[in-house]
Amino acid sequence: MDGGGVRKRRGCSVQKNDFLPEESFKSWGNYKAALLETPRRLKDRFLTRSNERVEIGEMTVRSSHQMKKTLNWWDLIWLGVGSVIGAGIFVLTGMEARNVTGPAVILSFVVSGFSAMLSVFCYTEFAVEIPVAGGSFAYLRVELGDFVAFIAAGNILLEYVISCAAVARSWTSYFATLCNKNPDDFRIVIHNMNSNYSHLDPIAVLVLVLVCILAVRSTKGSSIFNYIASVVHIIIIVFIVITGLIHAKPQNYVPFAPFGVRGVFQASAVLYFAYVGFDAVATMAEETKNPSRDIPIGLVGSMLIATLAYCLLAATLCLMQPYTNIDVNAPFSVAFSAIGWDWAKYIVSLGALKGMTTVLLVTAVGQARYLTHISRTHMMPPWFAFVDEHTGTPVNATIFLVLISALIGFFTDLEVLSNLLSISTLFIFMLVAVALLVRRYYSSGVTTKSNQIKLIVFIVVIIGSSCGISSYWALSDGWIGYAVFCPIWVLATGGLWLLVPKAKEPKLWGVPLVPWLPSISIFINIFLLGSIDKDSFIRFAFWTVLLLVYYVLLGLHASYDKAKEFEAQSSAQRGVNTLEDGVVVSST
């Protein structure tokens, strides 16, 4: 075994101890002893923070081989566009416009786009300073510690797996439209099952398998394919907007917001699904030639393009036909059929398929890099951290996660997937904004105890007041709650700005308007959570409990053993270096 517990071999072959190589799992006696130490180990992992040197250096060598640095800012922009413009606009727009917002869906995209842009800024500073495949997992390990990072990691993987599954099912819907069929014509319907899980989708599975093959072969090859497909996709979007506006009927905008302001924000929370792909770009920092230049341009550029495209398409759809006539499965294709342009629906469907294919590709690439870095810490089995010598890609992680996505996509309805995905995404983005505040205002050995306490208090109040506003929004139509919690949020953010000195400034690129921008990001993400249905929170809570059970039984002990092994090796190496220095001094 090398330092990461992964043999230097090709492919996905499984060797003994690849999954549980740590000391705690060598025997049942060892495992029982480890379980008895769970409280102490949990405290250790809760309080332990990683550092940038470990994430960039030690962690990357645990994958047997290095990922190839082949990407530049141009690649990242198109990877970002390819990862974002897909099912979110071509399916969810119709679903939310018809059932939740009406024509005001464009405002929902503006709200969710604004929130996503704030998160983009937070991600960008971290991706420039910590350019590794772990994305937000690595950032949270450095700033908030192992335990918080693990909870986020589980939701990151849930986010990506569900995203792949949801987009794959949407792919089937538009493929059916292209073939002049109903989506259920390509699905296996089991009538005595729950309707959310009874429409089995073999085409979604096939598409994911083909995407997986491309993702494991080459990151640069995937980028080139994505670039070509995304350019074609943009051309089709321009076609949809221009031809759709030619047939625009302003009267279709009346009423503009039939479901009120509450509907706008409720749709914003779900439409966050449309923006989740951008964080896949951050996971490619390890494969980027010049992260300090390429990542800010790639992330911000792709988000601006995507938000503009979303707003134009949403406005066009609602001008073409009344919101009550919008088809929830293939809204744009059916809209063109409604105006007599049946031939145009084939172009629209083709564009949607291209867009969703690139989303699947970039998502498959991004989720594998997350799992790779998580596995480097041994929170997940180190077998998933293996990077192939010839392709420079994490083969094991890619195949495993795509197979899980295929299994979920085979069974589960799109609406169930999109709501659960939005909770997970908003939760992670909120944590990244909190981590940015910690990064700027706390540094071990620099921040005084007094300032540390003030920082904790202000962050807790910012989160608490945001939760208060979100809860009041979800439960009441009054105004008293806003009058109480909004000033508290302002005072907490202002207090952090005025009373706690910054402990650290970014070396290369930094988020502007700190602490206000990340604090607004925390508020909006939590506020949008208040617009998601109760059943989705129950599913989210169930998933979180499963994560905690896995962590206490396996992940905690594996990562603890690996961390202590690394600390022992580092101490021994420092001792050797000290001894060598002493020899040199004495010889002179």
Q: Tell me, yes or no, whether 60 lies in a domain.
A: yes
pLDDT the model gives residue 502: 92
pLDDT the model gives residue 2: 42
pLDDT the model gives residue 11: 43
Q: Is the pLDDT of residue 16 over 80?
A: no
Clarify whether residues 21 and 89 are in a common domain: no
Clarify whether residues 410 and 545 are in a common domain: no
- Three-state secondary structure call for residue 71: strand
d(CA 31, CA 551): 14
pLDDT tens string 305-319: 888 888 898 999 999
Q: Tell me, yes or no, whether 586 lies in a domain.
A: no
pLDDT tens string 155-207: 878 877 887 887 888 788 778 877 878 777 888 877 777 666 677 888 888 98
CB 109 within 8 A of CB 311: yes
Neighbours of 188 (CB within 10 A): 11
Q: Tell me, yes or no, whether 476 lies in a domain.
A: yes
CA-angle at 14, arms to 10 and 18, nearest 5°? 105
Clarify whether residues 551 and 428 are in a common domain: no
Clarify whether residues 390 and 525 are in a common domain: yes
- Exposed / middle / buried, residue 516 (Cβ in 10 Å: 0-12, 13-18, 19+): middle
Q: Is 336 left (phi over 0), alpha (psi -120 to 50) or beta?
A: alpha
Q: Is the pLDDT of residue 363 over 90?
A: no
Q: Could you give the number of structural domains in the chain? A: 2
Q: CA–CA distance from 257 to each of 74, 190, 321 (Å)?
A: 38, 37, 15
CA-angle at 352, arms to 351 and 356, nearest 5°? 120
CA dihedral (304, 169, 269, 251) in degrees, to 10, reads 80
CB 333 within 8 A of CB 174: yes
- Three-state secondary structure call for residue 2: coil
Q: Is the pLDDT of residue 10 over 50?
A: no
Clarify whether residues 160 and 34 are in a common domain: no
pLDDT band of residue 519 (cuts 50, 70, 90) is very high
Clarify whether residues 42 and 142 are in a common domain: no
Clarify whether residues 27 and 75 are in a common domain: no
Q: Tell me, yes or no, whether 576 lies in a domain.
A: no
Phi first, then psi: give them for residue 248, nearest 5 degrees. Answer: -70, 140
| Residue where one domain finishes, among candidates 484, 506, 532 | 532
Q: Tell me, yes or no, whether 10 lies in a domain.
A: no
pLDDT the model gives residue 577: 56
Residue 517 makes CB contacts below 8 A (sequence gap 6+) with 118, 121, 122, 511
- Exposed / middle / buried, residue 89 (Cβ in 10 Å: 0-12, 13-18, 19+): buried
Give the single-character DSSP code of 67: P
Q: Is the pLDDT of residue 56 over 80?
A: no
Q: CA–CA distance from 307 to each of 80, 313, 325, 354 (Å)?
A: 12, 10, 25, 18
pLDDT tens string 547-585: 899 999 999 999 899 888 877 776 766 665 554 555 443
pLDDT the model gives residue 169: 83
pLDDT the model gives residue 461: 97
Q: Tell me, yes or no, whether 446 lies in a domain.
A: yes
Mean pLDDT (the chain) is 82
- Residues above pLDDT 70, as percent of the chain: 87
Q: Tell me, yes or no, whether 361 lies in a domain.
A: yes
Mean of pLDDT values over 45-52: 82
Clarify whether residues 332 and 192 are in a common domain: yes
pLDDT the model gives residue 91: 67
pLDDT the model gives residue 492: 96
| 232-251 as b/e: b if 16+ CB within 10 A | ebbebbeebbebbeebeeee
pLDDT the model gives residue 413: 67
Clarify whether residues 41 and 101 are in a common domain: no
Neighbours of 59 (CB within 10 A): 26
pTM of the model: 0.80
The stretches of 197-341 forming alpha helices (DSSP H) are 202-217, 219-246, 260-271, 278-282, 291-320, 331-338
Structural domain boundaries enclosing 555: 16-46+538-571
Clarify whether residues 283 and 240 are in a common domain: yes
Q: Tell me, yes or no, whether 480 lies in a domain.
A: yes
CB 314 within 8 A of CB 105: yes
CB 446 within 8 A of CB 503: yes
pLDDT tens string 258-313: 988 888 988 887 777 677 667 777 777 788 888 888 888 888 888 888 888 888 98
pLDDT tens string 450-509: 999 999 999 999 999 999 998 888 888 888 989 999 999 999 999 999 999 998 888 877
Which is more confident, 86 or 100?
A: 100
Q: Which of 456, 137, 121 is nearest to 304 (CA)?
A: 121
Clarify whether residues 37 and 183 are in a common domain: no
Domain CATH for 153: 1.20.1740.10
d(CA 94, CA 454): 46
Clarify whether residues 22 and 87 are in a common domain: no
Among 60-69, 125-134, 556-565, the least confident range: 60-69
CB 55 within 8 A of CB 377: no
Which residues, listed in sequence order, are joined to residue 188 by a DSSP beta bridge? 200
